[in-house]
Amino acid sequence: MTVTAGRSTVSSVRESVTMSVGEFLLRRIREAGVSHAFGVPGDYNLELLQQLEDTGTLEWIGTCNELNASYAADGYARLNGMAALIVTNAVGALSAINGVAGSYAEHVPVICICGSIPFRSMERGLGMHHTMADGTWDRFISAYAQVTAAQARLTPYNAVTEIDRLITTAWHDKLPVYLELPSDIAYLDIEVPAAPLVLAEPPGDPERLRSCAAAIASRLSAAKSPAILVDLDAGRFGAAGEVMALAEKARVPVAVVATATAVIDETFPHYLGLYNGQASQPHVRETIENSDCLLSIGYRPLDLTTGDFTGSLPADTICVRGHSVDVGEDNYQAVTLKEILRGVTDAVPQVTNRATPQSASPTPAMGDHGDGSAKLTQAAYWQAIQGYIRPGDVLVADGGTSYASMGLHLPPDCSFVAQFIWGSIGYSVGSLLGTLAAAPDRRHLLFVGDGSFQLTAQEVSTILRHDYKPVIFLINNGGYLIERCYLGKTSRFNDVANWAYADLPKVFRPDTTARSFVVKTVADLDKALSAPNDTLIFIEAIMDPFDAPVAVIESGNNGADLDYGPRGPQHRSNMLLRPAT
């Protein structure tokens, strides 16, 4: 029998099947498009991992620690759309919380599953390990309430609704969620829906959609200098194609902020460049800040997207977000990013008489990066790497001078993975494991500094264990160079121990076929770059401790003024690395 409710037709007979709580959870995760899980076993999640192994629902990628697993899940979700992380009570969950918080800041949907203490212990007041030994069990779910969009402790009774609510929330909001599975219920049978989970945006309100699209289209059509500013949500909500279709039809230039690097194909004729307040190229800043109709997509003004608050967008900027829009005084709800962009594209007339933007700064000439025998400089390094990038590459970048990779001109179909907002160093090494698992057929390039690498280096062993073949570009400059641009140019706290980085593949996998290079000159680097990509390539570049790209120096110097104020120590002489005069 079917009943008609409003606009939809619903079957009143929902077929159900019997399945254990754990198997249902794994099944739903798989149905959400996730085929791997990252994490570390512990006695409270072993039963779920056994189910995972027995059913083969997901491929398990065990990591060296839960922090790295959380980064891996984040990297995986950025390419795959969603990820799963499995940890154990408290000790695992709290190790992972930094990465999950990063996923929240960066709008990455990760399902964190914590195998937690059994109900038996909660109900009988049994003191358990991995707790504070004070009879409490709510602290860790409370901690996760600060860094996730939704949390639940599963019971046999709520499992069906809560699993679906959490997965759907993560998918819909593009945010992480946290789910506790008490260890004594994973094997209990419950009745679960037979139908697969369907992740689809419910249609918006047709009137709101029409009037919102019409309002935007009429402003765009009347404008002389419209422009679009794109932040990371355009990528997370899969709307980059819609942005480009609109830009194409209405001939509107599109700029991105750093957090949205590579979201818009840089070879797209209407691609304008990177917007970052006064640190933008002048024509980009002028186009965005003086636009008479600026459409911002998910823009979040932050130090790193405003040129340290030097930028100011037009007061009447139209703000389009994942699920709402502001146009002038009007706020539209029950609309979605993709639908709005499609609606506006349909509603605007085809424009033919507006010039395409001047292209972003010319791609640096390849093949000539100075005297081959000269000591390797940052300038020569990035120029050589520019020539190495090819269409479809996945670039994963850590903090420090490796952020200069953001300035590379990217050919089509590249992805750029970095944790710009959260900025937890070491992120990239774990994240690389995740991007490799999500897209094993693409070439993955990691850009990381010695300091950042030391936080999460062990995960190279997992990358080798799974026979992945990334290229790891590590800058060995003896310390935290980017920090020297804030404060402590020569201070010991900015030094790190010198490791034999390029020897690590051998340490992490004695039978490795990885190719390691220690490069000190341009010629050394060129040789390393000519190695075939049939195995992991590790390139340790020895650089001067004070050689930093000007953009990194300037952002550090500005950051010092913002962070420490006019009475801060940065004003004393020679306290921070300044641009060469």
Ligand X SMILES: Cc1ncc(C[n+]2csc(CCOP(=O)(O)OP(=O)(O)O)c2C)c(N)n1
Secondary structure tally for the chain: helices H, strands E: 20, 23
The residue (of 76 and 480) whose beta carbon lies closer to ligand X is 480
Coil vs helix vs strand at 476: strand
Residues of span 478-517 touching ligand X by CB under 6 A: 479-483
Q: How far apart are alpha carbons 298 and 186 in whole angstroms?
A: 39
Smallest separation, CB 549 to ligand X (Å): 10
Smallest separation, CB 523 to ligand X (Å): 22
Question: What contacts 148, CB < 8 A, 6 or more positions away?
Answer: 100, 104, 112, 175, 176, 177, 178
Q: Are 525 and 379 within 8 A, CB to CB?
A: no
Smallest separation, CB 414 to ligand X (Å): 22
Q: Are 448 and 475 within 8 A, CB to CB?
A: yes
Residues of span 308-327 touching ligand X by CB under 6 A: none
Q: Of 424, 428, 516, 558, which one interacts with ligand X (CB under 6 A)?
A: 424
Q: How far apart are alpha carbons 557 and 330 in whole angstroms?
A: 40
Q: How far apart are alpha carbons 157 and 477 in whole angstroms?
A: 56
Region of 33 please: left (phi>0), alpha (psi -120 to 50) or beta. Answer: left
451 binds Mg ion (CB under 5 A): yes
The residue (of 119 and 517) whose beta carbon lies closer to ligand X is 517
Backbone angles phi and psi of 348, in degrees to 5: -85, 145
Q: How far apart are alpha carbons 434 and 444 in whole angstroms?
A: 11
Q: How far apart are alpha carbons 236 and 78 in whole angstroms?
A: 7
Span from 20-28, 146-154, 250-258, 441-449 in contact with Mg ion (CB under 5 A): 441-449
Q: How far apart are alpha carbons 512 and 372 in whole angstroms?
A: 30
Coil vs helix vs strand at 423: coil
> Side chain identity at 339, as an amino acid letter?
E
Span from 126-134, 366-374, 473-481, 515-523 in contact with Mg ion (CB under 5 A): 473-481
Task: Please state the length of the chain.
Answer: 581
Site string for ligand X, 269-308 (x = CB under 6 A): ----------------------------------------
The residue (of 168 and 428) whose beta carbon lies closer to ligand X is 428
Q: How far apart are alpha carbons 492 and 370 in whole angstroms?
A: 33
Closest to 244 measured CA to CA, from 268, 226, 222, 227: 268
> Side chain identity at 110, as an amino acid letter?
V
70 binds ligand X (CB under 6 A): no
Q: Is the Cα dihedral 72, 76, 82, 86 positive or negative?
A: negative
The residue (of 106 and 450) whose beta carbon lies closer to Mg ion is 450
The residue (of 381 and 468) whose beta carbon lies closer to ligand X is 381
Span from 65-73, 269-277, 433-441, 450-458 in contact with ligand X (CB under 6 A): 450-458
Coil vs helix vs strand at 574: coil
- Residue 226, H or E segment: strand 226-230
452 binds ligand X (CB under 6 A): yes
The residue (of 340 and 543) whose beta carbon lies closer to ligand X is 543
399 binds ligand X (CB under 6 A): yes
Token representation of residue 3: 């009943």
Residues of span 548-577 touching ligand X by CB under 6 A: none
Smallest separation, CB 381 to Mg ion (Å): 13
Q: Which residue is nearest to ligand X (CB)?
A: 400
Q: Of 261, 317, 477, 570, which one interacts with ligand X (CB under 6 A)?
A: 477
400 binds ligand X (CB under 6 A): yes
In the list ligand X, Mg ion, none, the entry touching 182 (Cβ below 5 to 8 angstroms by class) is none
Smallest separation, CB 381 to ligand X (Å): 11
Q: Which residue is nearest to Mg ion (CB)?
A: 449
In the list ligand X, Mg ion, none, the entry touching 424 (Cβ below 5 to 8 angstroms by class) is ligand X
Closest to 457 measured CA to CA, from 412, 496, 408: 496
449 binds Mg ion (CB under 5 A): yes
Q: Of 75, 253, 449, 549, which one interacts with ligand X (CB under 6 A)?
A: 449
Smallest separation, CB 507 to ligand X (Å): 20
Q: How far apart are alpha carbons 94 and 72 in whole angstroms?
A: 16
In the list ligand X, Mg ion, none, the entry touching 399 (Cβ below 5 to 8 angstroms by class) is ligand X
Span from 31-39, 57-65, 191-199, 471-479 in contact with Mg ion (CB under 5 A): 471-479
Token representation of residue 557: 């110097």
Token representation of residue 517: 């290079």
In the list Mg ion, ligand X, none, the entry touching 75 (Cβ below 5 to 8 angstroms by class) is none
Beta bridge partners of 296: 229, 319
Buried b / exposed e along 372-408 (16+ C-beta atoms within 10 A): eeeebbbebbbbbbbbbbeeebbbbbbbbbbbbbbeb
Smallest separation, CB 431 to ligand X (Å): 13
Token representation of residue 254: 């599109």
Smallest separation, CB 294 to Mg ion (Å): 38
Smallest separation, CB 114 to ligand X (Å): 22
Q: Of 266, 339, 393, 450, which one interacts with Mg ion (CB under 5 A)?
A: 450
99 binds ligand X (CB under 6 A): no
**In the complex, which residues of this chain contact ligand X (CB under 6 A)?**
398-402, 423-425, 449-452, 475, 477, 479-483
**In the complex, which residues of this chain contact Mg ion (CB under 5 A)?**
449-451, 477, 481
